[in-house]
Amino acid sequence: MAILSVNINKIATLRNSRGGNVPDLLKVAMDLERFGAQGITIHPRPDERHIKYQDARDLKMIVTTELNIEGNPIQSFIDLVDQVKPAQVTLVPDAPDAITSNAGWNTIQHEEYLRDIVAHFKKQGIRTSIFVDPVESMVEGAAKTGVDRIELYTEDYARLYSTDKERAIAPYVIAAKKATELGIGINAGHDLSLENLKYFSEQIVDLMEVSIGHALISESLYLGLENVVNMYKHRLV
């Protein structure tokens, strides 16, 4: 069964909108673990508009499951990961002004660069993952970097799911099969929700982890955080 890692960027966005410490990011992370989340994900940006670099340092002290730090490996991000040493680092090719992640790596074009970054983190015992589109050649390129896992970028799946779920899932099945053949673990994330997660997890049989934030936090406004965490976990069975 894939594990559920909850992205808490939206909690940080709400906190930062008024200053101070309400809601308390660390308490939310601890509550999520208490409710059954099996990991905590954060994605700090250089402008710290939601997750602050200090949040990563503070979360390292209290997270008892797995801390996953996502981001573009600019030098300040590398320095942060070096200091915090999370369970997993996920490399995402975000532009500095990106509202949210909107594409995977071109692992062929950036193979040498990614290989060096992956090697740097793996030397410290940090599991590495690369954010990729569901394209066989991109999965093959990721494998050449020595990465432990890929994270399949699932926005296209989520966008097509309600109209043609078979067509939506097809490229992900192919990409996942290639990853398994190459000995790479499979994570997934972006716009996965209570509506579309069960079918995705049923079709991607080797799925190891999903990282979900925006939908989970939004759904919790209506259904409650503890309830929603368990609803997500039931969809991963």
Write down the catalytic residue from 43, 151, 209, 219: 43
What is the Cα–Cα distance from 48 to 38, expressed in whole angstroms? 25
**Cβ 196 vs Cβ 158: under 8 Å:** yes
- Residue 43 bears catalytic tag: yes
Q: What is the longest distance spanned by two Cα atoms in the chain?
A: 48
Active-site residue identified among 66, 151, 190, 219: 190
Specify whether 190 is catalytic: yes
Tokens of 113: 């660069």
Find the catalytic residue in 33, 50, 66, 70: 70
Half-sphere exposure of 156 (CA within 13 A, CB side): 15
Question: What radius of gyration, in Å, describes the C-alpha atoms of the chain?
Answer: 17
Cα atoms in the Cβ-side hemisphere of radius 13 Å centred on 92: 26
Tell me the one-letter amino acid at 3: I
H or E segment at 88? strand 88-91
Query: For residue 156, what are the contacts with CB-CB under 8 A and spacing of at least 6?
Result: 133, 134, 168, 171
* Catalytically active residues, by annotation: 43, 70, 190
